[in-house]
Amino acid sequence: MKKSFKIIAVSAAALTFAGCASSGASSSDIADLKVAVEEARAAAVQADQNAQAAYELASQNAEKINRAFRTSQLK
């Protein structure tokens, strides 16, 4: 999750600096950079969602294992 925020922050910084340095860059370069930043942001969001889903699944599995262990200890 922190990694995705870092990617978004770096992408935003790159976009900001590209806008500030636009005197040497063409508008197509800036448009390409914006597209790349959006793709990076989308990838970061998807990675974050995948990580959250994996965490939820791991938590559910841990609870199932704990219940099975407690049940076996009571027998």
pTM of the predicted protein model: 0.56
Query: Where residue 56 falls among pLDDT bands split at 50, 70, 90?
Result: very high
Quote the pLDDT of residue 66.
Answer: 94
**Other beta carbons within 10 Å of 18:** 16
CA gyration radius, the chain: 22
DSSP the chain: -HHHHHHHHHHHHHHHHHHHTTTTS-HHHHHHHHHHHHHHHHHHHHHHHHHHHHHHHHHHHHHHHHHHHHHHHH-
In this prediction, what percent of the chain has a pLDDT beyond 90?
52
pLDDT, tens digit (0-9, with 9 covering 90-100), for 14-30: 767 666 555 566 888 88
Q: How many domains does the chain have?
A: 1
pLDDT, tens digit (0-9, with 9 covering 90-100), for 33-49: 999 999 999 999 999 99
**What's the domain range around 69?**
2-74
